[in-house]
Amino acid sequence: MSIRGVRIGAKQFTSGKIRCYAMTDGQSRYVEWVETSNREKVVARELYDRVEDSDESWNLANEATAQSELVQSLSAKLNRGRGWKDARPPR
């Protein structure tokens, strides 16, 4: 699983004190749940391989395997600058 040179989609969702930021590159979907009062505090992470697990039933984000490098890379892309707005496809 890796970030490829494809267009990336992104979105955000807020519910009470938790905000969800999500992005996909076509193969992977990455989600971060953060506190609305402290964007630095990640409450939970989700990573799904949409090719191998199209139902998104197996969260790979917590596995201590090669996925950790991918999680770090996607997290950095999602969080640099203006968050999810920097991850969305160019117009």
Q: pTM for the whole thing?
A: 0.71
Query: Each residue of 20-41: b (16+ CB within 10 Å) or e?
Result: bbbbbbeebbbbbbbeeeeeee
Contacts of 15 (CB under 8 A, 6+ apart): none
Over residues 54-74, the mean pLDDT reads 81
At 86, list the tokens.
């920097």
Region for 44 from its dihedrals, namely left if φ exceeds 0, alpha if ψ lies in -120 to 50, beta otherwise: beta
Q: How many Cα neighbours within 13 Å face the side chain of 87?
A: 24
**What is the tens place of the pLDDT at every residue in 9-32?**
556 666 678 888 888 877 888 888
Banded model confidence at residue 8, pLDDT cuts 50, 70, 90: very low
Lowest-pLDDT choice from 34-38, 70-74, 86-90: 86-90
